[in-house]
Amino acid sequence: MTDSEVYDHHPSTPPKPSTNRAVQQLHPRDETPVDYIFSRYAVGEQLGKGGFGVVYEGTRLEDNLKVALKYVTKTEHMECISIPDHPDPLPKEIALTIMANKGHRVPEIIRLLDWTDHSDHYVMVLECPSPCENLVEFIRRHGGSLDEEKTRQIMWQATNAAHMCCLRKVLHRDVKLENLLINRETSEVKLIDFGCGDILGSSPFKSYHGTPEYSPPEYHRRGEYQGWPATVWSLGIVMFTLLCGDFPSYQDLLLLEHNKWSKPGLSQECCDLLRVLLHEKPIRRLGLGQIRSHNWFMVVL
C-alpha cells in the first residue's frame, strides 16, 4: 500500500464502511488500537486498499483536523529499525518518516501526526492536505505536460524535500510523480510514502525497492548505487516527465549526455539542468545540494 493511493483514489460512490467491522478485519486479536484510534479520531470512508493495508480518511476529534489513517498489516519479512529517542525498534516506514521530519519543519515533507505499532500491524496518522492530487493527475488535468514556469515551481519544492531527507540520513528511494502531492489551489508540493526507503549511509546500496522507471543506470550496470546521486537521477526523471509528459527514451538520454537535446519552448538553462541531472555517470551529475543554485532557478518564483 502506498501513500499515493491515499490521495488519488476517489471512487465516484465510495462505500461508507462500518467502522467496527473495518477495524475487526484489520486487528482480529488486538483491541488496543480500537481504543486508541477511536478515542482520538473519527474514521471515515475508505480511500484506498493495497496488498498489506487500507487507508481511510479521518478527523482528529480534538480540533476536527482532516487526516489520513493508514493501516498496514505486518509481514514475516517486514523490517524494523531502531532510531534515536525511541527505545524499541519501529517498522521502517514509521521510523523513516519520523527521521525525515526530525528538526525544523519542512513543509514539503508529509508529516506523521501520530502512530501505533502492534504485533501484527501498525497505523500511521498522516497529514492530509486538501485539495490535492498527485502529479500524475495534475499533469493529466493540464493537458499531459507542464510549462517551464510551473515545472520550476514544483521542482524547487521536490528538490528541497529530497535534499532535506538525505541530510537527515533518510533515502526516500521512490521520488516519483505518484509520491509528490500538489495542492490544486496553492501549488504547494509534498513528498509522501517512505515505504521503499532506507537509512542513508556511505556504503552503496545493492538492491532497489523503488519504481524501475526512476532507478539509476549504475544500478543496472553494476548492481549497486549511492543514495545521493540516485536521488538526483530520480529528480531528473520527474523533471523530464513534467516537461515532456513521458519518460525519457534511450535516445533522449544519449542526446542529453552530449548536450544536443532540446524541446521547442524550453530554455537553454532548462535543457542544461536536465543534462546534469540525467548524466549516465553518477560523478558527473549535479550534487543534490547544488540543484537549486542552478541558473534555471535564478528567477523569481
Determine the pLDDT at residue 30.
43
Residue 83 and residue 137 in one domain? no
Determine the pLDDT at residue 16.
33
Residue 194 and residue 293 in one domain? yes
CA nearest 53: which of 109, 111, 82, 93?
93
pLDDT of 218-229, one tens digit each?
A: 999 999 999 999
pLDDT of 141-173, one tens digit each?
A: 999 999 999 999 999 999 999 999 999 999 999
Most confident of 16-25, 42-51, 198-207: 198-207
Residue 146 and residue 285 in one domain? yes
Residue 46 and residue 19 in one domain? yes
Confidence of residue 118 (pLDDT cuts 50, 70, 90): confident
User: Choosing from 8, 117, 174, 198, which is the catalytic residue?
Assistant: 174
Confidence of residue 10 (pLDDT cuts 50, 70, 90): very low
Terminal alpha carbon distance of the chain: 34
Confidence of residue 36 (pLDDT cuts 50, 70, 90): confident
d(CA 212, CA 105): 30
Percent of the chain with pLDDT over 90: 74
Residue 255 and residue 278 in one domain? yes
C-alpha pair distances (Å), 119 with each of 32, 75, 76, 77, 193? 11, 10, 11, 13, 22
Determine the pLDDT at residue 136.
96
132 pLDDT exceeds 80?
A: yes
Range of the domain at 277: 132-297
pLDDT of 190-208, one tens digit each?
A: 999 998 999 999 999 999 9
Pick the last residue of a domain from 96, 127, 158: 127
Pick the last residue of a domain from 111, 127, 143: 127
Higher pLDDT, 35 or 11: 35
Residue 121 and residue 143 in one domain? no
Residue 43 and residue 56 in one domain? yes
What CATH number has the domain bearing residue 252? 1.10.510.10
C-alpha pair distances (Å), 173 with each of 18, 127, 180, 232, 240? 36, 21, 13, 11, 18
User: Cell numbers at residue 51, please?
Assistant: 496488498
pTM of the complete model: 0.87
Average pLDDT over every residue of 103-132: 92
- Helical residues (DSSP H) of the chain, grouped into ranges: 4-8, 19-26, 32-40, 92-100, 135-141, 148-167, 217-222, 227-244, 250-257, 268-277
Is 246 among the residues known to form the active site? no
pLDDT of 245-285, one tens digit each?
A: 999 999 999 999 999 999 999 999 999 999 999 999 999 99
Residue 84 and residue 155 in one domain? no
In contact, 177 and 2? CB cutoff 8 Å: no
- When the pLDDT of each residue in the chain is averaged and rounded to a whole number, the result is 87
Confidence of residue 130 (pLDDT cuts 50, 70, 90): confident
What CATH number has the domain bearing residue 104? 3.30.200.20
Per DSSP, the three-state class of 229 is: helix
177 pLDDT exceeds 70?
A: yes
d(CA 224, CA 212): 14
Pick the last residue of a domain from 65, 96, 127: 127
d(CA 272, CA 254): 14
Residue 148 and residue 289 in one domain? yes
Residue 150 and residue 235 in one domain? yes
Residue 101 and residue 151 in one domain? no
Strands 170-171 and 180-183: unpaired
Contacting residues for 187 by C-beta, under 8 A, at least 6 apart: 150, 153, 154
Average pLDDT over every residue of 29-47: 72
Determine the pLDDT at residue 54.
84
User: Cell numbers at residue 80, please?
Assistant: 524494523
In contact, 128 and 4? CB cutoff 8 Å: no
d(CA 246, CA 259): 20
Determine the pLDDT at residue 255.
97
DSSP letters, 14-72, are -----HHHHHHHH-SS--HHHHHHHHHEEEEEEEEE-SSEEEEEEEETTTTEEEEEEEE
Residue 136 and residue 237 in one domain? yes
Q: Report which residue type is found at 203.
A: S
Determine the pLDDT at residue 47.
75
Number of domains in the chain: 2
CA nearest 201: which of 240, 228, 237, 163?
228
Contacting residues for 232 by C-beta, under 8 A, at least 6 apart: 277, 285, 286, 287, 288, 291
